[in-house]
Structure 1
Amino acid sequence: MNAKTLKPVLIIGGSGVVGAQGAHALRRLQPDLPIAIAGRDLARAEAVAAQVGNATAVRVDLQRADLGLGEDARFSAVVLFVKDETSNSIKYAQRHGLPYVSTSSGSFEIAPEVTRYLRRPGASPMLLASHWLAGAATLPALHFAQEFRRLDSIRIAALLDEQDMGGPAAAADYERLTSAAAAQILERGRWRWVRDAEAASSFLSVDGVGIQAAAYSPMDVVSLAAATDAHSIRLDMALGESASRRRGEAFSTEIAIELEGELHDGRQVRARHELVHPQGQAPITAVGIALGVERLLGLAGGEAVAPGLYTPDVLIDPVYQLRRLQEFGVSVQRKPDVELSLPVAA
């Protein structure tokens, strides 16, 4: 598909901290794709649109069924960088048959989106990308998992620097997802919801410093469970000081992926990969959403996606995702494997 011939991609929340970076990432990937920056503050949206280029600015109102855009507005996709408690954005996308991307729902919050899809499964392709940093942990984990003949456990540890919360929408997401419900984990083959002491954990930062954390449940755990036969899967998240800031530098964001199981050569190991972006979480999230948009529209990785319900790991090649993340500044390091004397208990 030719990007020049498409209507603009409507990015709701595109004038926010992460949404603006998402628009810039999409522009870098697709220089000719028209973009519409949508927000409540038109002047702010216009400023971002001018920086992005080949972009317009529109004011949106999520309280209205037409989003305040009028019936003559035309777009090629709807991308949501804020939490829409009204579901008007997904209704709008379905009514117009547009690809839809959501980014802010925990695993316990997707029922409105799923049931909306089930009522109209042929209306539009819907990408549920509410994973940690829009899939920046899940897709690399699936890539690294290819080294294993049998994968027993997956643990993702994410460190968000306390100075890297982002804008008000990101802060609201963090507060809602950490306080509204227990965290979902897969433990020895059984789904569990944990909170307080059961959710507490710790992990090593990329510089070897111990970090206190807690189980967290964006969509990663359920996606990894569906894609692998691992018996135990959890994502732990910490809000604290990143290794770069301890060195006296600016904040960064860190993801550690630990996989345990049997390699194809028969060895039982724990493999750890560390992903770091020196500018924090927003650039990584931006890339993930941009990759989702271009895939939905058929601008990379295949033809335009048919109506359906998808997660990033279903649509995007993990190798492609990891390569793009590295092009946008993510460093990837594999630590020495830890030999395990016995198979991990199921």
Structure 2
Amino acid sequence: MSSKFQPVLIIGGSGVVGTHAARIIRRLHPTLPIAVGGRDLAKAEAVALEIGGAIGVSVDLARADLGLGDEKRFSAVVIFLKDEKLSSMRYAQKHGIPYISLSSGTFEVGPEMAQYIHAPDKAAILLASHWLAGAAIFPILELAKGFEAIDTIRIGVLLDEEDMGGPAALADYNRITGLAPAALTVKEGRFHWAGGEDSKARYRSVDGVELDAVAYSPFDVMALSARTNAGDIRLDLAYSVSASRRRGEAFSTEITIDIAGRGKNGEPLRQRHEIVHPDGQAPLTALGVALAVERMLGLAGGEAPQPGLYLPEVVIDAAYYVQRMKEFGASFVERQAETEAA
């Protein structure tokens, strides 16, 4: 089935997370061609050789054709770094192929939206700058099925200090935390930009240790507001030491979810769930990208989406996503909920 496709172009595919994504795409779809794109052709070709059924290509984001010529050569474009010129998005629109981006902060999404609005019928555009490309929002949406109504969603995420990933991930983190005037939250039903003292929080790790955290706003907050209409939504990031590393093991990545609302029986309901991947953030981010690629190509979940502007949770089934997270090593644990959502 997959062999009918031209290669999926992964820009940044020779980086830490990009390489993981290529491996997972290969595992899910053994015959789907892949083009590993990067500035260093030798490095891209080395990754392509390891993956198998792949090629390495040199990509230049300063050029309108990405340095790849004008011929239609790819079936989709995925980009793992911030493209300040949107050359990669325009390239996808020109060739009428799906585009998946991962590196925009909530406060800087305007240029991509404007680019789509001016060419709405050219390509399917998927904006996937959620926490770890969907690893928090999809479990929340699956848990939300047990609620009649949701009042509060509190998400805690821990990024271990040794788990930043490659230079592109570090650049994204520094840009978003350095340039964002504040973090988007929902407070008492209103969108609220939390800054200064208001942005400070405490994160309770999966081993009970409390750590300093700060409000952070990947796309999860605005997407959850649109989907759940919850009156209070906030995501707090702790950049610290994971519970596994405190035990003397390798770093892991953690996601904690506290939801409060009304259950299907009409009674108040509070839940706390903890998600851990023992190998850190890269496998979960890569999995999210792989699931986005297969969905945008129509390899899972139905026909490929028509040209339009999409968020992952609109086109990917939450139960399927969570199932894949478990298959690829994430553990899910339900804990005793506190009196107030943490």
Same fold? TM cut 0.5:
yes
Is the 2:260–2:271 Cα contact (8 Å) retained in structure 1?
A: yes
Counterpart of 1:32 in structure 2 is 31
CA–CA separation in structure 1 for the residues paired with 2:129 and 2:283: 15
1:125 equivalent in structure 2: 124
Amino acid in the other structure paired with 2:317: D
Task: Please list the CA deviations of residues 275-323 of structure 1 after superposition, one character each: whole Å capped at 9, or x if unmatched.
Answer: 1000000000000010001000000000111001000110100000000
Partner of 2:268: 268
Aligned partners of 1:7 and 1:76 also within 8 Å: yes
2:78–2:99 Cα contact (<8 Å) kept: yes
1:285 aligned residue: 285
Counterpart amino acid of residue 113 in structure 2: V
Consecutive unaligned residues of structure 1, counting only runs of 5 or more, are: none
**2:42 aligned counterpart, secondary structure:** helix
Residue of structure 2 in register with 1:336 after alignment: 336
Deviation at 1:102, TM superposition (A): 0.2
TM-score by length of 1: 0.97
Q: CA deviation at 1:337?
A: 3.7
Structure 1 partner of 2:18: 19
SS in 2 for 1:270: strand
Structure-2 residue corresponding to 1:196: 196
Query: CA contact under 8 A between 1:156 and 1:256: conserved in structure 2?
Result: yes
> Matches of residues 99-118 of structure 1 in structure 2 within 5 Å?
99-118=98-117
| Separation (CA, whole Å) in 1 of partners of 2:155 and 2:188 | 16
CA distance, structure 1, for counterparts of residue 237 and residue 60 of structure 2? 32
Query: What does 1:155-166 correspond to in 2, within 5 Å?
Result: 155-166=154-165
Deviation at 1:196, TM superposition (A): 2.0
Cα RMSD for the two superposed structures: 1.1
Partner of 1:80: 79
More divergent stretch after superposition (6-15 vs 176-185): 176-185
Aligned 8 A contact 2:203 2:238 in 1 = no
Structure 1 residue aligned with 2:62: 63
Question: 1:56 aligns to what SS in structure 2?
Answer: strand
Percent identity of equivalent pairs: 56
Q: One-letter code of the match for 1:112?
A: P
8 A contact 2:151–2:230 mirrored in 1: yes
Measured in 2, the distance between the counterparts of 1:82 and 1:37 equals 14
Return the alpha-carbon distance in structure 1 between the equivalents of residues 171 and 305 of structure 2: 31
Aligned residues: 340
Alpha-carbon offset, residue 73 of structure 1:
4.9
Is residue 2:4 matched to residue 1:5?
Answer: yes
Aligned to 1:52: 51
Runs (4+) of structure 1 moved beyond 3 Å? 337-340
In structure 1, C-alpha distance between the alignment counterparts of 2:316 and 2:108, rounded to whole Å: 23
Partner of 1:176: 175
Say if 1:161 and 1:239, in contact at 8 Å, map to a contact too: yes
> What are the ranges of 5 or more consecutive residues in structure 2 without an aligned counterpart?
none
SS at 2:145 equivalent: helix
Query: CA–CA distance in 1 between the matches of 2:8 and 2:142?
Result: 29
| Residues 268 and 339, structure 1, Cα contact 8 Å, conserved in 2 | no
Alignment partner, residue 304 of structure 2: 304
| CA deviation string 1:197-238 (max 9, x = no partner) | 110001210000001100001100010001012101011101
- The answer on whether the counterparts of 1:201 and 1:215 sit within 8 Å (CA) in structure 2 is yes
Q: Secondary structure at the match of 1:139?
A: helix
Classify the secondary structure of the residue corresponding to 1:63. coil
Structure 2 length-normalised TM: 0.98
| Deviation of the 1:339 alpha carbon | 5.8
Match of 1:313 in 2: 313
Alpha-carbon distance, 1:265 to partner: 2.3
Residue-by-residue CA offset, 1:246-285 (whole Å, 9 max, x unaligned) = 0000000000011011111233232111110000000000
Q: Is the Cα–Cα contact under 8 Å of residues 269 and 339 in structure 1 kept in the other structure?
A: no
Shift of 1:336: 2.4
What's 1:142 paired with? 141
Q: Which residue of 2 aligns with 1:217?
A: 217
**Hey, what's the Cα distance between the residues in 2 that align with 1:266 and 1:207?**
32
The offset of 1:71, in angstroms, is 1.7
Shift of 1:338: 4.3
